[in-house]
Structure 1
Amino acid sequence: MALNNIVLKELRKQKKLTQTELASKLNISQKSYSNWESGKAEPTLDNIIKLANILDTTTDELLGRQVNFGDKILNKKYKYDLSVLKESDIQKLYDLKMTLAFELLDESLEPAKLKVILMEKNKLDKDEELILDTILAEAKEFADDINEFYKFKKSNKKFKWPWQKNNNNLTTKDSNNIK
């Protein structure tokens, strides 16, 4: 697990933090932190997670990994190109919706909070806000469906089609013969 020290330094500077300030937030010495940024030492996994939270990024980005999802690259938390909101390119809007759905799989992240972050960072007008509302609603519905499926799969319950009755061994073949 190799920390991308160039990304670390860039993110620290974006947050307008000195090495000393960031080290203090991590409860480590400035020298220890400096060694991470220079590549002389590696932080523990616990410290990588803390860094990701403090620097508002992902552990993947800190480790130099990129997750491909459709045509989007998810390596910078909440840094999406929302210029597509006024375009008529259905594929780009769909890609944005799926990217946001991917973020909303984390059930602790509410669409309203994500919207505020995106509105502030992208200075959206009223038309773009309405489009974003729709995309976020659809993304949330999709994410909820995936989460429900995952919970169902973990529960080891047997799936029943809507036409299957409780306490009955009615199958799809049988249901086609009912008149």
Structure 2
Amino acid sequence: MNFNKSGLKIAREKANLDSLELASLLKIEKSVLDGWEAGGGTITLDNLLKLMSILNTSAEMILFNESRSGLNVESLNTEQLDIVLKLYFMMKNNK
């Protein structure tokens, strides 16, 4: 794991996009993207889903600089499980 770069920046660079190109695709200011890559601000669910699609990567990579083989839902509480299911169905319906 590269602790010197955010997962978002690593995923963006792996996709061969500069920050201005990615900001344009997301229809946001470059300064907002720069802030996310520096660990500031909040990425909305809508923008997270767009980032996952554009960069062809997982939420874990973007948010935590981690890749996981799967999600263990056994330890989640009801509210967390509900969020995971909502995300799943949103992503499934956006294909």
Q: Into which bin does the TM-score normalised by the smaller protein fall?
A: 0.5 to 0.7
Paired with 1:60 and 1:6, the residues of 2 have a C-alpha distance of 11
Instruction: Please name the residue that 1:26 is paired with.
Output: 26
Q: 1:66 and 1:21, CA in 2 relative to 1: closer, same or farther beyond 3 A?
A: closer
Give the drift of 1:58: 1.6
Q: Which of structures 1 and 2 has the larger relative contact order (alpha carbons within 8 angstroms, sep 6+)?
A: 2
Q: What's the counterpart of residue 56 of structure 1?
A: 56
Q: Which amino acid aligns with 1:35?
A: G
User: In the alignment, does 2:14 pair up with 1:14?
Assistant: yes
Counterpart Cα distance in 1 of 2:20 and 2:9: 13
Structure 1 counterpart of 2:21, one-letter code: E
1:5-46 deviations in whole A, cap 9, x for unaligned? 711101111111111000000000101111100112121111
Report runs of 4+ in structure 1 exceeding 6 Å deviation: none
- 2-side partners of 1:35 and 1:74: how far apart? 28
2:38 is matched with 38
Once residues 41 and 61 of structure 1 are traced to their aligned partners in structure 2, the CA distance between those partners, rounded to angstroms, is 17
Structure with max Cα Rg: 1
Does the 8 Å CA contact 2:11/2:55 hold for their aligned counterparts? yes
1:34 partner letter: D
Seq. identity, %: 34
**C-alpha distance in 2, partners of 1:26/1:47?**
7
Give the Å deviation of 1:66: 5.2
Q: CA RMSD in A?
A: 2.4
Quote the Cα distance in structure 1 between the aligned partners of 2:25 and 2:17: 10
The 3-state SS of whatever aligns with 1:40 is coil
Cα shift at 1:61: 2.6
Long gaps (5+) in structure 1: 68-72, 76-105, 110-179
TM-score, reference length from structure 1:
0.34
**How far apart, in 2, do the equivalents of 1:35 and 1:43 lie?**
10
Deviation, 1:74, is 4.7
Residues 32-90 of structure 1: per-residue CA shift (max 9 Å, x gap): 111100112121111011000000012233232654xxxxx359xxxxxxxxxxxxxxx
How many pairs are equivalent? 68
Q: Measured at CA, do residues 8 and 63 of structure 1 come closer, stay the same or move farther in structure 2, by a change above 3 Å? A: same
TM-score (norm 2): 0.61
